[in-house]
C-alpha cells in the first residue's frame, strides 16, 4: 500500500497516478491486450467490442491493415496478407515452417527469413511489430494515456532467438517490455491468484499454432514451473488442415486448388470446426472463385475421427513433462485449459481421461494468458501494494539445456533444461596447454551431446590468462539467465581476475544494426544513429584486433618473428591505435587500418597455428591469434 504524506490544505495530491501497464498475448492466430483496472484484469476490446485481434497483417499500396479486416482480405490478396507469422519468428529460411513456405514468398535475409510483399521485404519481427502497434494504440486509446510498459507472452518452447525477436518487435512497436512471460505461466497467474489454490497443476495450452504443456507447483502464491514440454507445430491450424483436406475430398475437388480457393476452404474448415464445438452437426458451405458452391454436411463424430490423432499427439509431450517433473497424472491437482482449441469437446475429454480429473476452464481460454500477463504487468509497473499476496515470485524454467563446447566437439551442459530461472550456474575449467593465455568459449543450446547438433548461441574469447602450466589456471564460466530467459555468460580466471563476458545476441542474426534500421524505419528519424553505430562497431573491432595482436606479440613475437617482421606488425598496430586516439570518427579509415593490421599480422598468425594448436581448436582451447 502506498503510504500517504500530509499535504498543505487543499493540496492533497490528485488521486494517484495509476501507471498504465498491459499484458499482451501475441498469438499465432489471435492476439489481445489486457490490463488491470480496480484490481481486476480485463481484456481491452476494440471499438467494435472484439477483444481478439486476428494476428493477420495485410500490406497494400501505402496502407497497412491489421486484424479482422486483414483476415477477411486473406483470400483476395494471399501473398500480401501475412497470417501465423509467429511461426517464423527468429527462424531462417532453412528452418521455416513448411506451410508458411507454401503460402508466402519467403526469402533468406540476414539471419532471419523475410516475406516478400507489395510493401517490400518484411521480416517476421516487423510484421509482429505491426500487430503489437495496433494493440498498443488500442490500449492507449481505451486507457487514455501512454503505456508505462507491457508484459508480452511467448510459448514456453521459444528459444533465445525467438524471445529476442519478440522483444525487438515490441521495441519497434514503441512498447517498453517489462518482461517476457511464458504463456502457461501467465495462465497460471490468472488462475492461481484468482483461486488461491495450492498444489501441482498442469497447464494444457492448445492454441492456433502451438501446443505447450507445463507442470506448475503453486505454494502460497509462489509459482514454480517444474517442467515444460510441447510441440511447436501443433495447434488449431492443423485441425483446420485435416478438415480442409476432407472437405475437398467430399466435395470432389482436386487436392490442389488455386491459393485463393485454398484460403476459402481453410476458412470454411475453421468456422465449421468451431461450430462443431457447440453443435453435433453442421453444413459447411462456401462459394469458390469460379462461382462453384460447395456444400458438405459434417458431424462432430466425423470431425473427431479426422482429428483424434492430433489430440493424442498432444498427450505425448504431456506424459514427457510429467516424467521430467517426476510425477504421475494422479499427482496433478488440476489441469488449466488455455487456448481456443481447448474448446473442442474431444480435447477436453482426452485431457480429463489422462489426468482422471475434469479440466479447469472457468476462465475464457482465449483470454487467460493475456489476463495473467496483465496482472504481472500491474505488479511490475508498481501498481500493486507490496502486501504479501501481491509479492509473488515467479519461477520459470529454461526450456533447453545450455552448455559449452569442450574438447572434441562435445557439449558440457551447464544449465540443464527445466532449471528454474532466473538462475546462475558456474563450472570451472582449466587451460589445456602450458602458457596458454586465452580460452575460447562457445555457448550452445540443445539437448544433444554433439556441438554440431546443438544451436550455436555465442562465441567469445577470454584473453590475458597469465601463463601457467597446463591445468593450473582456474577459469570459472558462469551462465546467468535473467527473468526473460535471456542469457549472459562470463568467464573469469580466478587468480588474475581477467574476465570476458557476452550477452547472448539474437542468434537469428538480426544484429543491433538491423534492429536499429527497423527502429529508424518505424520512427522515420535520421540516419545518424546508424552511422554512429557503424563507427562504434569499427572502433570496437579495431581495439579487439590491437589487443589480440599485442597479446600475441607478447606471447610468441620473439620466438616466431624476426626483428624486421616484428617491426612491420608493430607499425600497423601503431597506425591503427593512433587513428583511434585522434578521435577522428572516420569509419572508413578505421576499417582500412584494421584491414592493414590484419594483413601485416597474417603470417604471424599462420605460424602460430601450428599443427598441434590446430588440433586444440576442435576443443575448447584456442590460442590468441
Partner 1 sequence: MSITVTEKAARHIQKTLDKRGKGFGLRLAVKTSGCSGMAYALEFADESLPEDLVFECAGVRLLVDPRSLPYLDGTELDFVREGLNEGFKFNNPNAKAECGCGESFAV
Ligand X SMILES: Nc1ncnc2c1ncn2[C@@H]1O[C@H](COP(=O)(O)OP(=O)(O)OP(=O)(O)O)[C@@H](O)[C@H]1O
**In 356-494, alpha helices (H):** 368-380
User: Does residue number 228 form part of the binding site for ligand X (CB under 6 A)?
Assistant: no
Of residues 11, 279, 393, 611, which one binds partner 1 by CB under 8 A? 11
The size of the interface with partner 1 (CB under 8 A), counted in residues, is: 29
Positions touching Mg ion (CB under 5 A) are: 27, 207, 339
- The one of partner 1, Mg ion, ligand X, none whose footprint includes residue 5, by CB under 5 to 8 A per kind, is partner 1
Question: Residue 384's binding partner, choosing from ligand X, partner 1, Mg ion, none, with beta-carbon cut-off 5 to 8 A by kind?
Answer: partner 1
Between 7 and 293, name the residue whose CB sits nearer to partner 1: 7
Give the x/- contact pattern for ligand X in 487-526, rule: CB under 6 A.
Answer: ----------------------------------------
Check binding of 343 to ligand X (CB under 6 A): yes
What are the phi and psi torsion angles at 166 (to 5°)? Answer: -65, -40
Indicate if 205 belongs to the active site. yes
Could you tell me which of 470, 439, 440, 453 has the C-alpha nearest to residue 411? Answer: 453
Q: Please, are residues 127 and 522 in contact by the beta-carbon 8 Å criterion? A: no
Among 126, 159, 183, 237, the one annotated catalytic: 183
In whole angstroms, how close is the CB of 492 to ligand X at the nearest point?
A: 40
Q: Which of 78, 90, 124, 208 forms a contact with ligand X (CB under 6 A)? A: 208
Contact 87, 59 (CB under 8 A): no
- Burial of 142 by CB count in 10 Å (0-12 exposed, 13-18 middle, 19+ buried)? middle
Q: Rg of the chain's alpha carbons, rounded to an integer?
A: 28
Question: What b/e readout covers 77-110, taking b as 16+ CB neighbours within 10 angstroms?
Answer: bbebbbbbbbbbbbbbeeebbeebeebbebeebe
CB-CB neighbours of 435 under 10 Å: 14
The distance of closest approach from Cβ of residue 274 to ligand X in the complex, given in angstroms and rounded to an integer, is 4
Residue 388 in the binding site for partner 1 (CB under 8 A): no
Task: Tell me, yes or no, if 586 is annotated catalytic.
Answer: no
Q: Which of 86, 122, 248, 273 is catalytic?
A: 86
Out of 32, 36, 53, 250, point to the residue binding partner 1 (CB under 8 A).
Answer: 36
Is position 39 an interface residue for partner 1 (rule: CB under 8 A)? yes
- The catalytic position among 159, 160, 168, 205 is 205
Nearest to 502 by CA among 549, 454, 445, 457: 457
- 102's CB contacts (< 8 A; 6+ apart) are none
Task: Residue 212: name the closest of 347, 84, 314 by CA.
Answer: 314
Nearer to Mg ion, 211 or 246 (CB): 211
Residue nearest to ligand X (CB): 236
CA 387 – CA 389 distance, rounded (Å): 6
Around Cβ 64, how many Cβ atoms within 10 Å?
A: 13
∠ at Cα 493 (489, 494), nearest 5°?
115
Which one, 294 or 370, has the nearer CB to Mg ion?
A: 370
393 counts as binding partner 1 under rule CB under 8 A: no
What residues between 232 and 271 interact with ligand X by CB under 6 A?
235-237, 270
25 is catalytic: yes
- Residue 193: CB minimum distance to ligand X, A: 20
Any bridge partners for residue 460, and if so which?
441
203: CB partners within 8 A, 6+ apart: 184, 185, 187, 188, 212, 213, 214, 216, 335, 336, 338
Which of 20, 22, 29, 56 is the binder for ligand X (CB under 6 A)? 29
Selected binder of ligand X within 159, 160, 366, 623 (CB under 6 A): 366
Residue 385 binding partner 1, by CB under 8 A: yes
Residues annotated as part of the active site: 25, 86, 183, 205
- Interacting residues with partner 1 (CB under 8 A): 1-16, 18, 36-39, 378-379, 382-386, 390
Amino acid at each position: 500500500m502506498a503510504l500517504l504524506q500530509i499535504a498543505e490544505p487543499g493540496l492533497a495530491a490528485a488521486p494517484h497516478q495509476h501507471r498504465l501497464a498491459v499484458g499482451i498475448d501475441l498469438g499465432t492466430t489471435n492476439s489481445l491486450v489486457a490490463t488491470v483496472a480496480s484490481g481486476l484484469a480485463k481484456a481491452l476490446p476494440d471499438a467494435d467490442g472484439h477483444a481478439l485481434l486476428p494476428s493477420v497483417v495485410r500490406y497494400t499500396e501505402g496502407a497497412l491493415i491489421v486484424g479482422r479486416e486483414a483476415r477477411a482480405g486473406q483470400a483476395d490478396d494471399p501473398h500480401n496478407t501475412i497470417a501465423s507469422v509467429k511461426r517464423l519468428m527468429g527462424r531462417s529460411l532453412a528452418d521455416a515452417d513448411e506451410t508458411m513456405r507454401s503460402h508466402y514468398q519467403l526469402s533468406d535475409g540476414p539471419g532471419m527469413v523475410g516475406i516478400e510483399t507489395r510493401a517490400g521485404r518484411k521480416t517476421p519481427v516487423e510484421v509482429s511489430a505491426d500487430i503489437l502497434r495496433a494493440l498498443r494504440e488500442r490500449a492507449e486509446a481505451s486507457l487514455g494515456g501512454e503505456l508505462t510498459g507491457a508484459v508480452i507472452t511467448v510459448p514456453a518452447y521459444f528459444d533465445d532467438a525467438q524471445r529476442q525477436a519478440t522483444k525487438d518487435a515490441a521495441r519497434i512497436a514503441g512498447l517498453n517490455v517489462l518482461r517476457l512471460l511464458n504463456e502457461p505461466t501467465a495462465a497460471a497467474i490468472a488462475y492461481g491468484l484468482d483461486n488461491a489454490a495450492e498444489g501441482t497443476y498442469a497447464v494444457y495450452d492448445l492454441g492456433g499454432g502451438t501446443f505447450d504443456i507445463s507442470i506448475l507447483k503453486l505454494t502460497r502464491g509462489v509459482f514454480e514451473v517444474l517442467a515444460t514440454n510441447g510441440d511447436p507445430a501443433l495447434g488449431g491450424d492443423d485441425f483446420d488442415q485435416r478438415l480442409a483436406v476432407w472437405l475437398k475430398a467430399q466435395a470432389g475437388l482436386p487436392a490442389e486448388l488455386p491459393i485463393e480457393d485454398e484460403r476459402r476452404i481453410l476458412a470454411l474448415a475453421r468456422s465449421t470446426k468451431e461450430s462443431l464445438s457447440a453443435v453435433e452437426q453442421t453444413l459447411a458451405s462456401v462459394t469458390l472463385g469460379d462461382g462453384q458452391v460447395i456444400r458438405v454436411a459434417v458431424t462432430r463424430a466425423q470431425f473427431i475421427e479426422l482429428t483424434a490423432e492430433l489430440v493424442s499427439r498432444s498427450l505425448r509431450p504431456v506424459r514427457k513433462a510429467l516424467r521430467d517433473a517426476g510425477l504421475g497424472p494422479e499427482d496433478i491437482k488440476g489441469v488449466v485449459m488455455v487456448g481456443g482449441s481447448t474448446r473442442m469437446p474431444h480435447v477436453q475429454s482426452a485431457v480429463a481421461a489422462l489426468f482422471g480429473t475434469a479440466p479447469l476452464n472457468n476462465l475464457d481460454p482465449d483470454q487467460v494468458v493475456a489476463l495473467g500477463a496483465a496482472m504481472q504487468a500491474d505488479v511490475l509497473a508498481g501498481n500493486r501494494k507490496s502486501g504479501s499476496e501481491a509479492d509473488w515470485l515467479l519461477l520459470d524454467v529454461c526450456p533447453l539445456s545450455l552448455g559449452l563446447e569442450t574438447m572434441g566437439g562435445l557439449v558440457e551442459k551447464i544449465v540443464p533444461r527445466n532449471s528454474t530461472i532466473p538462475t546462475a550456474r558456474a563450472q570451472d575449467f582449466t587451460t589445456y596447454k602450458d602458457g596458454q593465455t586465452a580460452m575460447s568459449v562457445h555457448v550452445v543450446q540443445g539437448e544433444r551431446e554433439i556441438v554440431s547438433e546443438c544451436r550455436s548461441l555465442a562465441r567469445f574469447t577470454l584473453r590475458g590468462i597469465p601463463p601457467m602450466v597446463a591445468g593450473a589456471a582456474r577459469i570459472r564460466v558462469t551462465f546467468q539467465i535473467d527473468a526473460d530467459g535471456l542469457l549472459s555468460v562470463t568467464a573469469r580466471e580466478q587468480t588474475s581476475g581477467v574476465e570476458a563476458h557476452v550477452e547472448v545476441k539474437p542468434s537469428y542474426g538480426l544484429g543491433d544494426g538491423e534492429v536499429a534500421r527497423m527502429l529508424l524505419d518505424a520512427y522515420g528519424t535520421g540516419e545518424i544513429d546508424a552511422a554512429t553505430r557503424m563507427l562504434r562497431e569499427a572502433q570496437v573491432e579495431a581495439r579487439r584486433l590491437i589487443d589480440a595482436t599485442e597479446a600475441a606479440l607478447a606471447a610468441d613475437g620473439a620466438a616466431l618473428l624476426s626483428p624486421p617482421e616484428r617491426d612491420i606488425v608493430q607499425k600497423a598496430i601503431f597506425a591503427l591505435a593512433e587513428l583511434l586516439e585522434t578521435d577522428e570518427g572516420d569509419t572508413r579509415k578505421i576499417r582500412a587500418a584494421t584491414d592493414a593490421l590484419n594483413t601485416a599480422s597474417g603470417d604471424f598468425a599462420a605460424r602460430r597455428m601450428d599443427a598441434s594448436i590446430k588440433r586444440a581448436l576442435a576443443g575448447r582451447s584456442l590460442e590468441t591469434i
